[in-house]
Amino acid sequence: MVQAARSGTQNIAEGSVDSATSKKIELKLTGIAKGSLEELRLDYQDYLRQRSLPEWPPDHPALVRFKALRCSTLEEFRAWVAEEAKRNTDVHRQALTDTNVKIGGGLCPSVFSSVCVANGALSLLNLCIYLLDRQLRAQAETFEKEGGFTERLYRIRSERRRNN
């Protein structure tokens, strides 16, 4: 999971740097980044499934609160998990048992926190993958219209030859 996460971010960064000289490589590396993040998403889904823990739908109350927070730091993410864990326990730190009242399905606080972390990470990964899809479409459109670095250099050289 760590390698998939690193690969995703590293390929985004490398593709961005390479975009100055090769749109084709930028497009390729963005696609690889998306694939790495898809792999990470599957790992989180496997984590939940193998432990018989719930994967929340996008409109789950805890995810709605998470999305509204627009966390931008790890500390903010951790604070959201802690707040959701509090919502899921009574004053004696016992997991609530009435499934109509709470959102955790009777899970103990530490397990419920793991469910929050995994579902929060899945929500972020879904957003990243969606944005990478949009970026890939834009990169492909630009490549189709303008070509790559080599093609642009060829056009410039050809124009200079015609003018001379």
> Does 28 fall in a domain?
yes
- Render pLDDT for 22-37 as a digit per residue (tens, 0 to 9): 888 899 999 999 999 9
Assess whether pLDDT exceeds 50 at residue 132. Answer: yes
- Residue 13 CA from chain centroid, whole number: 15
> Does 81 fall in a domain?
yes
Interatomic CA distance for residues 156 and 148, integer angstroms: 13
> Does 162 fall in a domain?
no
> Does 160 fall in a domain?
no
Interatomic CA distance for residues 103 and 87, integer angstroms: 8
pLDDT recorded at residue 97: 46
Q: What is the extent of the structural domain holding 14?
A: 2-153
Residues with Cβ within 8 Å of residue 97, at least 6 apart in sequence? 106
The pLDDT mean for the chain works out to 87
Tokens found for residue 80: 């959201």
> Does 132 fall in a domain?
yes
Assess whether pLDDT exceeds 90 at residue 107. Answer: no
Tokens found for residue 17: 């740097």
Alpha helices in 19-108 (DSSP H): 23-50, 61-69, 74-87
Residue in 87, 8, 90 with CA at minimum distance from that of residue 44: 8
Is there a contact between 83 and 12 (Cβ–Cβ < 8 Å)? no
Structural domain total, the chain = 1
Number of Cβ within a 10 Å radius of residue 8: 23
- Render pLDDT for 71-81 as a digit per residue (tens, 0 to 9): 999 999 999 99
Higher pLDDT, 22 or 67: 67
* pTM beyond 0.85, yes or no: no
